[in-house]
Amino acid sequence: MIFVGVTRFSVYQPKSVEWIASKDKEKEAQQNDYLSYLYDEKRINYRLFTFIKLSLPLLAIGSRGFSYIHVVQYSSVMPTKFVKALKKAEAKYGFLKLVEVDTSERYERVWAAVREYFDTLKIEQKTAFGFFNLDDDDLLSIDYFKDASSYINNDRVGYYISFGRGGTGYFDFSKKVLESARYCYSPKINIGLMALSSFDGKNFY
């Protein structure tokens, strides 16, 4: 069973309409404000801690026994000290693949990295896989891969999986403690939203 994950780690794309932080940031002054906000020390340190210290260990445990690549997009303008932290994580986790992008790129380099990974698997016939999104400040359960695997097959290619039940709470960053944790249910939530896809050795579907 194959899984492909993608995380846009605070990607600087001022004209993107996909994310709240980037909408309508076309004027230079707005772009400068957006850039300062995006790479604010406190903001990025929180995301680095969440992604590297919390999210990646969960992904490592949950993906055991599966073929898995997780591509992380980061901006060419991201401060070097933050990039170094991501590269250190890449060296630790074999499934992690960093991809640098500029302000105009979409997912071209992501799919190039995925294609390179799939080539190592020597796929020659139509093979289903799960393609999911994970924000840099969200977490997935260690059961995520196991639960999703039962839905991944060629008959379901084109469908989406959304696990709406999960947990939420307030994270005290200074204490590194999760407080007020509780169950929640949000149907079709973006966290871990998975597209059932396939690859036949030449093309993705």
pLDDT (0 to 100) of residue 203: 87
Q: Report the distance separating Cα 40 and Cα 10, nearest Å.
A: 11
Instruction: Pick the most confident of 14-23, 35-44, 100-109, 144-153.
Output: 144-153
Element (H, E) at 87: helix 80-92
Name which residue leads in pLDDT, 9 or 19: 9
Instruction: Pick the most confident of 24-38, 138-152, 185-199.
Output: 138-152
Contact criterion met (CB below 8 Å) for 195 and 68: no
Q: How far is residue 45 from each of residues 32, 97, 100, 131, measured CA to CA in Å?
A: 20, 20, 19, 27
pTM above 0.85, yes or no: yes
Region 85-114: what's the mean pLDDT?
92
pLDDT (0 to 100) of residue 85: 97
pLDDT band at 19 (very low <50, low <70, confident <90, very high): very low
Structure tokens at 16: 């993107």
Neighbours of 74 (CB within 10 A): 21
pLDDT (0 to 100) of residue 188: 85
102: left (phi over 0), alpha (psi -120 to 50) or beta: beta
